[in-house]
A and B are shown apart, each in its own frame.
Chain A
Amino acid sequence: MASESRRDLILAAMIRVVGSKGYKETSVADVIEEAGTSRTTFYKHFEDKHECFIAAYEMLVERVFAEVVASCNGSEDWLQRVKSGLATIVELFALDPELARTAVVEVAAAGAEARQLHWNAVARFTQYLEGGRELSGGRELPDNISLMSAGAVSGLIFDELLAGRATQLPALLPDLLFAMLVPYIGPSAAAEEMRRVAPTAS
């Protein structure tokens, strides 16, 4: 097997093991067992557990981001892009609760560098989905607006995952949509859009 794909196997194993056991309880032994590789192979690619986790996390973010971009499919319609992007994230997380837990909850236990990666990723997602400041009709919004949306959306997702309700995340989609839209279109229009994506309305 090529060295590159062994490395990828280890990274994928890291994401799964951390998602099920927690970062602190995860050992290199757990990861190589899950990946089906040797200890030597692990240390050929990574200095230690932390370095491996950071690489795994970067891979995870790229993967989720690529899926979000693909689902938006170059849509010029901002509203549509927010809807598809958020739907892709909650569905991905619901299908793979271990990945979700690693991505959102366990990353916080993996040190300052990992937390920074997580926060950068959240900011990148919200900025991508927003790309629509012009929709605010020339209104002055604080510079921090995407940080606020990021906090609102990631707080809701974090609480669901911490409570072990990853599979129920799609039910949160209307609320997440409201949180992303409200700075631009105001509460009544955002509540209207929210009702449109609510399961009962479809």
Chain B
Amino acid sequence: MRIAAEKGYAATTIADLTREAGISRTTFYEMFDDKEACFLAAYDRVVDALVRRVTVAYEAEEGWPNRARAGLAELLEALAEEPEVARLALIDVSAAGPAAQRRYRAALQRLTPFFEEGRDFAPGGRNLPANTSRMAIGAVAGLIADEVSEGRAEYLSGLLSDVLFATLMPYIGPEAAAREVGERAR
């Protein structure tokens, strides 16, 4: 993952990986079928770690808007800490083939429970489309990916108000979302 983040996935060779890890080629092939399998395994570990951090931050708060804000803040911070990994995980993953693209979309959907809590919080939550969480996740992912692809991953934390708005808005509407975001802006 580290090497792919630096060199780009396409330019990374198995030789790069074994050298960096200090293992033999034989050991590599005992563990993985090929470069793609290795990448996907590494990808899953990165996503697992991210989801764990977000979950801890989210669950430490009370009330959906507070929980969403804490989870998103943690997500932005984690991505900003490692801009190359953020780039690989959100942008370059598309270059690693259809299996990797599916992993990326699946990783996004792991955030669904954090968003769906908005359905219970929102006054007319039951009437919202089943896909509401996917829309909100798409909006948040779009905002973050745009920032990362412009090379501004380190400054992701500045995006907190916008991603919080994008999360709350489809559930509680633009006015209430702007109010909730405004109350928590510092």
Q: Interface residues of B: mostly helix, strand, loop or mixed?
A: helix
CB distance from B39 to the nearest CB of A (A): 14
User: Does B140 lie within 8 Å of A151, measured CB to CB?
Assistant: yes
CB distance from B120 to the nearest CB of A (A): 14
The digit string for A20-31, where 1 denotes a CB below 8 A from any CB of B, is: 001010000000
Chain A residues with Cβ below 8 Å from B97 are 24, 109
User: Does B105 lie within 8 Å of A147, measured CB to CB?
Assistant: no
In chain B, positions 138-171 with a C-beta closer than 8 Å to chain A are: 138-143, 145-146, 149, 161-162, 165-166, 169-171
Q: What bracket does the count of chain A residues touching chain B fall in?
A: 35 or more
Chain A residues with Cβ below 8 Å from B101 are 105, 108, 162
User: Does B169 lie within 8 Å of A162, measured CB to CB?
Assistant: no
User: Does A151 lie within 8 Å of B170, measured CB to CB?
Assistant: no
Q: Which of B94, B105, B134, B137 contacts A115 (CB 8 A)?
A: B94
User: Does B139 lie within 8 Å of A149, measured CB to CB?
Assistant: yes
Chain B residues with Cβ below 8 Å from A153 are 135, 138
Q: How many residues of B contact A (CB 8 A)?
A: 42
In the complex where A109-B95, A119-B146, A174-B129 touch, is A158 in contact with B105 (Cβ < 8 A)? Answer: yes
In the complex where A109-B94, A115-B91, A119-B146 touch, is A162 in contact with B105 (Cβ < 8 A)? Answer: yes
The answer for the CA separation of A151 and B178 in the assembled complex, in Å, is 19
User: Does A152 lie within 8 Å of B142, measured CB to CB?
Assistant: yes
Chain A residues with Cβ below 8 Å from B142 are 147-148, 150-152, 154-155
User: Does A156 lie within 8 Å of B174, measured CB to CB?
Assistant: no
User: Does B143 lie within 8 Å of A191, measured CB to CB?
Assistant: no
In the complex where A115-B94, A115-B149, A191-B124 touch, is A152 in contact with B138 (Cβ < 8 A)? Answer: yes
User: Does B129 lie within 8 Å of A141, measured CB to CB?
Assistant: no
User: Does B170 lie within 8 Å of A108, measured CB to CB?
Assistant: no
Which A-B residue pairs are the 3 nearest by beta carbons? A151-B142, A155-B138, A108-B94
Interface residues of A (CB under 8 A from B): 22, 24, 105, 108-109, 111-112, 115-116, 119, 136, 139-142, 144, 147-156, 158-159, 162, 172, 174-175, 178-179, 182-184, 186-188, 191, 194
Interface residues of B (CB under 8 A from A): 91, 94-95, 97-98, 101-102, 105, 108, 122, 124, 127-132, 134-143, 145-146, 149, 161-162, 165-166, 169-175, 178
A148-B165, A149-B139, A187-B173 known; 4 new pairs, CB 8 Å cut-off, are: A136-B174, A142-B165, A175-B135, A187-B124
25 chain-A/chain-B pairs, Cβ below 8 angstroms: A105-B101, A108-B95, A108-B101, A136-B174, A140-B178, A141-B178, A144-B166, A148-B143, A148-B169, A151-B145, A152-B136, A153-B138, A154-B142, A155-B137, A162-B102, A182-B135, A182-B169, A182-B170, A182-B174, A187-B124, A187-B128, A188-B124, A188-B173, A191-B128, A191-B129
